[in-house]
């Protein structure tokens, strides 16, 4: 006799990327494969101070069960953080704390998606979102993107055609694409939401990780310019990429009726996000430590992104094309086939492992019609010298 599993699991495969990650343990491999921030960036001293303050100020709050919506001082700090980035009319009660933004995506799946419903996502998009939405039985439709983010005319056609329950976008430094939705398109997306009464989900874990100039305001920050759009907008934030993913602090801003349903579902899932982590994050933000941390991560990742871009141009030349990232953690590249070189990034990944460098082929990031010439390189975890060495190995794999 074998175990019987829920039918919904038939919709999801374990990711091809997992298989690749098994190879990363090989000694000497330089990895551009992960989506992790660099653990050397963690502000250990600041977090220790925040833990101490949380435990001495309010041990009951930090160690006891808490409200499902989140620890109130953290909700208020997060609302203040969002206000500092141009969001208007948001109080602590307007957001819920989630266990990473990953949980927000799961709660959206749980509250909005079911077999027969459709979600539109970008092609390519965050792999875990594809899998999570499929687990709830949704049909996924892919909206094409270019360097300025999702193609809005095409998106409108798809909305009219499919009447989706939601449209999931990563407007700023997308994973994996690195693309940044232009200001003009941001406004049009908000107008589409109102015109077609369609829920737009803005997933924004990377918006704070810009290198030189700040990106355009988030959809949430722009929503006050488009009357009615706040009723059709969800915004997911996260401290994972800027402070620490291990804290598992994310948050979701959503229309009140949706927020109430998501809170109900979270109650049955984990009751609440760790109060210890929430109290720590609240004290960290309250102590004003975030601006210095942001300055450090922006400068470090900015240097690494430049080093990777230069090395790619030098070592791979016309065989790859990519847009130099302005923020985030990733270079999204395409094999051009120039000079009769390889065009299949899956094959390149295999060869690259043999040369001692790992990256992720792009195909699994598409819910349909994968572009097999694409691949994702993370510049977050290796220093500049290792980046140059890794890209040189990549060049040798392609030779």
Contact residues toward ligand PMP (CB under 6 A) are 35, 100-102, 126, 170, 175, 203, 205, 238, 240, 245, 250
Q: Measured from the CB atom, is 311 or 358 closer to ligand PMP?
A: 358
In a 10 Å sphere around its CB, with 0-12 CB exposed, 13-18 middle and 19+ buried, how is residue 294 labelled? Answer: middle
Q: Measured from the CB atom, is 100 or 395 closer to ligand PMP?
A: 100
The least CB distance from residue 2 to ligand PMP, in Å, is 32
Angle at 48 between CA 47 and CA 52, to 5 degrees: 115
Q: Are 316 and 394 in contact (CB under 8 A)?
A: yes
Q: Which residue is nearest to ligand PMP (CB)?
A: 100
Q: Measured from the CB atom, is 94 or 328 closer to ligand PMP?
A: 328
The token duo for 284 is: 């960290």
For the chain, the first-to-last Cα distance in angstroms comes to 52
Q: Measured from the CB atom, is 123 or 395 closer to ligand PMP?
A: 123
The least CB distance from residue 337 to ligand PMP, in Å, is 29
Give the 3-state secondary structure of residue 253. Answer: strand
The one-character DSSP state at 225 is G
The least CB distance from residue 111 to ligand PMP, in Å, is 17
Which letter, b or e, does each residue of 65-101 get, where b requires 16 or more Cβ atoms within 10 Å of its Cβ? ebebbbbbbbbbbbbebbeeeebeebebebbbbbbbb
Q: How many residues does the chain have?
A: 399
Backbone angles phi, psi at 180, to 5 degrees: -125, 120
The least CB distance from residue 177 to ligand PMP, in Å, is 10
The least CB distance from residue 102 to ligand PMP, in Å, is 3
Q: Measured from the CB atom, is 53 or 99 closer to ligand PMP?
A: 99
Rama region for 28: left / alpha / beta (φ>0; ψ in -120 to 50; rest) = left
Q: Where are the beta strands (DSSP E) in 91-148?
A: 95-99, 118-123, 139-146
Distance from C-alpha of 96 to C-alpha of 331, rounded to nearest angstrom? 32
Enclosing H/E stretch for 385: helix 384-398
Q: Measured from the CB atom, is 60 or 246 closer to ligand PMP?
A: 246
Enclosing H/E stretch for 109: helix 100-112
Q: Measured from the CB atom, is 126 or 136 closer to ligand PMP?
A: 126
Q: Measured from the CB atom, is 62 or 243 closer to ligand PMP?
A: 243
The least CB distance from residue 39 to ligand PMP, in Å, is 14
The least CB distance from residue 234 to ligand PMP, in Å, is 13
CA distances (Å), origin 56, targets 49, 53, 61, 72? 11, 5, 10, 17
The least CB distance from residue 117 to ligand PMP, in Å, is 21
Q: 275-286 and 44-57 are packed helices; what angle lies between their axes, rounded to 10 degrees?
A: 110
Q: Measured from the CB atom, is 170 or 226 closer to ligand PMP?
A: 170
The least CB distance from residue 42 to ligand PMP, in Å, is 14
Beta bridge partners of 139: 118
């Amino acid at each position: 006799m074998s175990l019987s599993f829920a039918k919904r699991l038939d919709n999801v495969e374990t990711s091809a990327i997992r298989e690749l990650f098994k190879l990363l343990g090989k000694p000497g491999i330089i990895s551009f494969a992960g989506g992790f921030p660099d653990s050397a960036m963690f502000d250990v001293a600041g977090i220790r101070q925040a833990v101490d303050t949380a435990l001495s100020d309010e041990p009951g709050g930090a160690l006891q069960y808490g409200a499902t919506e989140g620890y109130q001082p953290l909700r208020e700090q997060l609302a203040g953080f969002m206000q500092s980035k141009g969001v208007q009319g948001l109080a602590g009660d307007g957001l819920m704390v989630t266990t990473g933004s990953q949980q927000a995506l799961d709660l959206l799946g749980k509250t909005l998606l079911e077999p027969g419903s459709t979600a539109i996502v970008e092609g390519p998009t965050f792999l875990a979102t594809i899998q999570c939405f499929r687990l709830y039985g949704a049909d996924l439709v892919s909206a094409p993107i270019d360097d300025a983010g999702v193609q809005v005319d095409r998106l409108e056609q798809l909305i009219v055609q499919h009447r989706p329950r939601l449209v999931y976008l990563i407007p700023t430094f997308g994973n994996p694409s690195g693309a940044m939705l232009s200001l003009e398109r941001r406004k049009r997306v908000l107008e589409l939401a109102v015109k077609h009464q369609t829920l737009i989900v803005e997933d924004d874990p990377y918006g704070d990780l810009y290198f030189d100039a700040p990106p355009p305001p988030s959809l949430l920050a722009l929503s006050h310019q488009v009357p009615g759009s706040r009723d059709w907008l969800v915004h997911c934030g996260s401290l994972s990429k800027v402070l620490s993913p291990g804290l598992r602090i994310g948050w979701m801003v959503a229309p009140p009726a949706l927020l109430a349903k998501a809170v109900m579902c979270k109650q049955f899932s984990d009751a609440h996000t760790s109060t210890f982590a929430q109290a720590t994050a609240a004290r960290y933000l309250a102590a004003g430590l975030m601006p210095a941390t942001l300055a450090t991560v922006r400068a470090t990742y900015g240097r690494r992104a430049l080093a990777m871009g230069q090395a790619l141009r030098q070592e791979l030349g016309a065989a790859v094309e990519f847009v130099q990232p302005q923020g985030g953690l990733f270079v999204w590249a395409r094999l051009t086939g120039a000079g009769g070189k390889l065009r299949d990034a899956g094959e390149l990944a295999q060869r690259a492992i043999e040369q001692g460098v790992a990256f992720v082929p792009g195909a699994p990031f598409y819910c349909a019609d994968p572009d097999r010439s694409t691949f994702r390189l993370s510049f977050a975890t290796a220093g500049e010298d290792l980046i140059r060495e890794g890209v040189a190995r990549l060049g040798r794999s392609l030779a």
